[in-house]
Amino acid sequence: MVTVRREKDSMGVIKVPADKLWGAQTQRSLEHFRISTEKMPVSLIHALALTKRAAAKVNQDLGLLAAEKASAIIEAADEVLAGKHADEFPLAIWQTGSGTQSNMNMNEVLANRASEILGGVRGMERKVHPNDDVNKSQSSNDVFPTAMHVAALLALREHLIPQLSALTDTLRDKSHAFADIVKIGRTHLQDATPLTLGQEISGWVAMLEHNLRHIEHSLPHVAELALGGTAVGTGLNTHPEYARRVAEELATITAAPFVTAPNKFEALATCDALVQAHGALKGLAASLMKIANDVRWLASGPRCGIGEIAIPENEPGSSIMPGKVNPTQCEAVTMLCCQVMGNDVAINMGGASGNFELNVYRPMVIHNFLQTVRLLADGMASFNQHCASGIEPNRERITQLLNESLMLVTALNTHIGYDKAAEIAKKAHKEGLTLKASAVALGYLSDAEFDAWVRPELMVGSMTPGR
């Protein structure tokens, strides 16, 4: 039988497991929202702890919170950040849309732990109050969006952007290394005029560079913090300097450029910053999906596909076909990109659905946002390490396909005109001839003229890979 203690909130007394630090409101949420398995992300829990830590420090500095209580709250928050109380945050994503229950979960855990640090006990006789002390100068309505922005910005800066930069660097190196390899281009999945493999990959590099700029452009809005707006954005029950100073404190302890939101009404009523930032992440997913698809098409085969590049053979690909190896890293990337695009739809709907002074889709929004960041960051790291870094050209196959392409005839347009060039290509295709044999048979040019005018290495232009 589980040993319990009694906890009390404004709705009365409730029994809580005696070995847990949480209190009445967390227990009520556990009992009322037994929905699915998704829990509040650890990075969001840590962002809440950072927010409470900063608030305690500023409240002490402003003379609003006794030094011993502030010190105990800060110590308790640091324990959470160190992972010491991970099992004290059991609440589901699917709860109140303001995140109030997770805010109170943090308030109760920190209050009970701070009371123990001060020599007291957890429960109704605790020395630190979850609302009056831990939540001082705060409302769930400004705490939760603040924690969302803290978690989102740190995840983007510390996880996603480094992996995006690393993958971009790898592909840039490949672009430069393959700058001299002339291959056939393809449009509409049909043969087109030549380019170099380096030029082709340089397009991927530019895509990722653009995505990085779009993501970085979204960061200043994410760095704006709602804290200090309290219930509806007016700052009720806060010191005039509180909002600015708590943002500065969060910036100091995270080494991130957090600022107080210039308009707290927008900060509470919308999720626009994360909607827009996630739009940039969706754009990255679209680019990664295109790149992964290109890679697996170019590596298709090994004998009956395009086969212009080789990618690492990481594991057996079939339980029935011996020797089969599949482009599994590409498949993983395309799947996670689909998930990111689905997350974007949910985030857009959540962001658009807030009413009046408060958006109440926040737990779902931050759950999907952080999942997207994790998927993209981990996916790029895996794709980079196990696929992109090992891309190698199949020069023999590239040359074979280049020489067999009918689209080399495009080089003759300026010499004999489009119509005659088209006739050469059609005759060659219909009769199984080379372009040269077709051109000579039609009497449009000599062997020497064909060799002088149809030179793939001169058809790739002067566009060099990279910037």
Q: In b/e form, how buried is each residue of 302-314, taking b as 16+ CB within 10 angstroms?
A: eeeebbbbbbbee
Q: Which residues neighbour 434 within 8 Å (Cβ) at sequence distance 6 or greater? A: 428
pTM of the predicted model, to two decimals? Answer: 0.95
Catalytic positions: 188, 318
Nearest to 171, CA basis, from 211, 195, 207: 207
196 is in an annotated binding site: no
Indicate the pairing of strand 4-9 with strand 12-17. antiparallel
- How many residues are given for the chain? 467
Contact present, 113 and 387 (Cβ < 8 Å)? no
132 is in an annotated binding site: yes
Alpha-carbon span 391 to 384, nearest angstrom: 10
Query: Which helix (DSSP H) or strand (DSSP E) does residue 457 occupy?
Result: none
293 is in an annotated binding site: no
Burial class, 268, CB count within 10 angstroms (exposed 0-12 / middle 13-18 / buried 19+): buried
- What does the DSSP 8-state code read for residue 133? I
Indicate the pairing of strand 12-17 with strand 190-196. unpaired
Query: 3-state class of 429 per DSSP?
Result: helix
Run means of pLDDT, 10 residues per run, the chain, 467 residues:
90 96 97 96 99 99 99 99 98 97 98 98 94 98 99 99 99 98 98 97 99 99 99 98 99 99 98 99 99 98 95 86 89 99 99 96 99 99 98 98 94 96 96 95 95 95 63
Alpha-carbon span 141 to 242, nearest angstrom: 16
131 is in an annotated binding site: yes
Instruction: Quickly count: other Cβ atoms within 10 Å of residue 222's Cβ.
Output: 25
- Specify the pLDDT at position 323: 82
- Taken in order of first residue, the domains within the chain and their CATH numbers are 18-136 (1.10.275.10), 142-394 (1.20.200.10), 405-458 (1.10.40.30)
- Specify the pLDDT at position 467: 46
Alpha-carbon span 357 to 380, nearest angstrom: 38
Nearest to 112, CA basis, from 141, 148, 79: 79
- What does the DSSP 8-state code read for residue 463? P
Alpha-carbon span 121 to 108, nearest angstrom: 13
Alpha-carbon span 93 to 57, nearest angstrom: 29
Dihedral angle sign, alpha carbons of residues 15, 18, 23, 29? negative
Alpha-carbon span 178 to 100, nearest angstrom: 55
Query: 3-state class of 86 per DSSP?
Result: helix
Alpha-carbon span 451 to 204, nearest angstrom: 33
58 is in an annotated binding site: no
Nearest to 123, CA basis, from 37, 33, 16: 16
129 is in an annotated binding site: yes
Average pLDDT value over all residues in the chain: 97
Alpha-carbon span 45 to 110, nearest angstrom: 12
Tokens read off for 38: 């998704």
Nearest to 456, CA basis, from 195, 198, 189: 195
Alpha-carbon span 236 to 299, nearest angstrom: 62
